[in-house]
Amino acid sequence: MSDQPLPRGLRPPRAHSTPEAPEPLPSDVMRRVGARVRAARTEKGVPRRALSEASGVSARYLAQLEAGQGNISIALLERVAVALDQRLEWLIAGEPHLPGEATRIADLYRAASAEVQAQVLELLAPGEVPDARRNRICLVGLRGAGKSTLGELAGDALGLPFVELNKEIEDQSGMPVAEVMALYGQEGYRKLEAQAVTRMVETHDALVLAVAGGIVSDPEAYAQLLAHFHTVWVRTSPDEHMSRVRAQGDERPMAGNPEAMEQLRSILTEREELYARAEAHLDTSGKTTEQSLEDLLCLIEARGFLAPR
């Protein structure tokens, strides 16, 4: 046996271990990772500099990575994967072992709208689709209605995790929503928002989710919520919407804008039909937080939104 030291990070196999298949050469792995990073970035239409800012990995290093010449750590590669809204294992793993036709079907399903996905599931597994929303509850409505406060309290009372979708977007993008909007614009934010909804469906069988008020204006994202969550429209009067936002210390709705209240009423009117598509409605006007929470919990029980325990 050679007396040369093993490369750092490697350990000699145990005496009882059996021979394993050789690992792919690092150069092969890096070429594959580089190609997939480049393909994902191109598909999202994200410039390399924007990906650098979102992931915290330098643009020069990303260029080397995409050329298959980088030697990136798993920790940094995970940040790149998150910024691209991809799974880390997809960037690293070898080619999938699915037949070509199955791979194509899987790709088509992932790219389909929520309605089409529901139709496919109905064909493949009749009778299971009506339960697709079980144990997932989503609160929709304009800012100031009480979604975040009630959502967190309901999650605690029901023993379910509570997630605020904008916080999920911030965690995944590595920047505040305001910076996401500045960097990617409204269209880019909506895309990240829809992707965040997909992640919630894929990673949570049960939760309480609170979403931003404007998500109902995105037909695909809202359809996905309606298909995979029991939705509750949390509503209140325009005056209470405004006073609650200001009570949180946010004076922006009124600052330098004497027509803010009229604009708020206009937004409510424009979105009322969309919010009304929610499965249930909860009016918090003139009620304390405790009263509204009790109403929400009673509504959830009466509608059978949660599976019996």
In terms of domains, do 75 and 191 share one?
no
CA distance 47 to 160: 38
In terms of domains, do 297 and 157 share one?
yes
Does 290 reside within a domain? yes
CA distance 302 to 158: 14
Domain span holding position 88: 26-92
Q: Are strands 136-140 and 230-235 parallel, antiparallel or unpaired?
A: parallel
In terms of domains, do 202 and 259 share one?
yes
Q: Phi then psi for 281, rounded to 5 degrees?
A: -120, 140
pLDDT over 90, % of the chain: 28
In terms of domains, do 206 and 285 share one?
yes
Closest by CA position to 280, among listed 140, 156, 160, 134? 140
Statement: the pTM of the whole predicted model exceeds 0.85: no
Residue 309 pLDDT grade (very low, low, confident, very high; cuts 50, 70, 90):
low
CA distance 173 to 177: 9
CA distance 207 to 171: 18
Is the pLDDT at 157 greater than 90? The verdict is yes
Residue predicted with more confidence, 76 or 217: 217
Does 193 reside within a domain? yes
Cβ atoms of residues 84 and 54 within 8 Å: no
Residue 308 structure tokens: 């019996």
Cβ atoms of residues 140 and 215 within 8 Å: yes
CATH of the domain at 198: 3.40.50.300
Q: How many domains does the chain have?
A: 2
Three-state SS for 24-78 is: CCHHHHHHHHHHHHHHHHHHHCCCHHHHHHHHCCCHHHHHHHHCCCCCCCHHHHH
Does 104 reside within a domain? no
Does 170 reside within a domain? yes
CATH of the domain at 53: 1.10.260.40
Q: Lowest-pLDDT range, 23-37, 77-91, 94-108, 279-293?
A: 94-108
Q: What is the pLDDT of residues 139-148, one digit of tens each?
A: 999 888 889 9
Q: What is the pLDDT of residues 54-65, one digit of tens each?
A: 888 888 888 888
In terms of domains, do 80 and 206 share one?
no
Burial call 186-216: b when 16+ CB within 10 Å, e when fewer: eebbbbbbbbbbeebbeebeebbbbbbbbbb
In terms of domains, do 199 and 277 share one?
yes
Q: What is the pLDDT of residues 237-293, one digit of tens each?
A: 877 767 766 666 554 444 445 576 777 778 778 888 899 899 899 999 889 999 999
